[in-house]
Amino acid sequence: MHASRSRVICTSILALPLLWIQTAEAGGPKLKIHAHGIVRHSIDLTGGPNGGPAERGTITYRLQTGTLSPSGRTVYFVISDASSKDFVETYGGIRADALADAHPDAIEDADFDEATGEWTFYEDPGFTARDDGLGGVIAPVGNPDYSPLKRISYDGEDIIVNVPFIKWGDEAGQRLIADDANGCNQLFRNNPPSPFMIPNGPPGCTASETPIERYKGGQVLSIDTANLEVTMKLHTSFNAENKLTLYTVFETNKGPASGFMGNILATKLGNLERYEETDSVANIIQFANGKFTQAGGPNRFQAGLSQYAGGQSGTYSPMWGITWVFFDTNENGVFYRDDRNVSRGATPVPGSGIPGFDPASPATFDPFQMDDKGVHNPSYVASVNPNGTDRIEDYDDVEDLEDSGALITTEGPPGLERNSSMQPHLLVSCPVPMTIRL
């Protein structure tokens, strides 16, 4: 079980978007690996249309095995992060000291035998989305006691390890859902409640759309238990340190996000404080309008902005709170659609199971609708952006632009007002195995 030295191949750093290459320092981009012993074969940063630039690539992680008690089932998982430097150097993962400060209510206990390297877990994650056998889909059903954050005893001390599960049984829904190449998999596209709850999938649901181009689809591309490896999408964010943060996505604490990414619903993560209150949670800013990019962020606008690059032992955390940006692209000074945004008093639809959502009318899915959501307006972004381009690249610029009235930030789902009491904030487990300094 001890970590072996990984062979990492960056197949094409130069496949990064031209804007990033143009701003590169002398000597070109520099790749830094933060993950000890968990990258199994390669990191591929290609994957854009026709082999061109891409906002994301792929990464192959090494799988570990453990036992789920009392059933005795085998669990396949990744050691992605740990709060102990010694543990990471011995068993693999990314050093994340800040996890030691994670709220106790977001953690579960597990057993790790240092002598044998054997793991024992006690909570089943539940089920990812699965077919109901009648042509429909059952949404993810999470175990409220499951968390990827495990407390174990190591070298005489308690440490926190982030061990996202990949496969934990042979029944439907007992593994992360692997993406396919047609973009129409109903496990993602018709997963209630979902923005894609439309017969036969959404517009643009075609075989020409590859898994790499889709954010709202499975984060896993393949699971190989025989060779103990899992290949996943590798996403990109930018930060003010002139680095690209490359991250993967595992558990989330909300059903829609888990459903449309084929991941585990881990509501226990919602007990983590907001990023303003603790070092154990970081922040990523995503965009709900602005410049449309096919392989961009979750809503296909520009890639996100991360609070810091990652892989920094004093501050790095894989637990991220999501902030959404809406630009005032029509320049009317209006952001919230009060007649449809339930946080602004819009009337919920009785019996829908979610405020403001009527299953008979998919257009009403978003209960926190905004005035400019989904608008492609790169010219407006360039007009307000301090660097004059249609891409925001400085995390701190977002706060300045909000103060000027050019944009507004919300929580997730997009349009939910900041610090709302209506829902817990959206938390996503996003380990950062590598960064690129430009």
Place of tokens 């001890």: 2
State residue 55's pLDDT score: 62
CB of 416 closer than 8 Å to CB of 410: yes
Q: What pLDDT shows up at residue 17?
A: 38
**Predicted pLDDT at 436:** 82
Residue 22 burial (CB count, 10 A)? 8
Q: What is d(CA 125, CA 48) in angstroms, rounded to the nearest whole number?
A: 33
| Rounded distance between C-alpha atoms, residue 169 and residue 118, angstroms | 18
What residue type is assigned to position 375 of the chain? V
DSSP 345: T
Please give the pLDDT value at position 327. Answer: 98
pLDDT given for residue 42 in this prediction:
58
Instruction: Quote the CA–CA distance of 253 and 230 in Å, as a whole number.
Output: 22
Q: Which of 174, 177, 152, 155 is nearest to 163 (CA)?
A: 152
Identify which of 56, 83, 68, 64 has the alpha carbon closest to the alpha carbon of residue 3: 64
What's this model's pTM, rounded to 2 decimal places? 0.89
Q: Which residues pair with 57 in a beta bridge?
A: 234
User: What is the model's pLDDT at position 308?
Assistant: 78
pLDDT at res. 360:
65
* Mean pLDDT of each 10-residue bin along the chain, 438 residues long: 35 36 47 85 55 66 96 97 95 95 98 96 97 86 98 97 98 94 75 56 60 84 95 86 86 92 96 93 96 85 86 84 97 91 78 62 73 95 96 91 97 92 92 86
Are 54 and 214 in contact by the 8 Å Cβ rule? The answer is no
Euclidean distance between CA atoms 31 and 42, whole angstroms: 13
Q: Please name which of 139, 140, 256 lies closest in space to residue 195, comparing C-alpha atoms.
A: 256
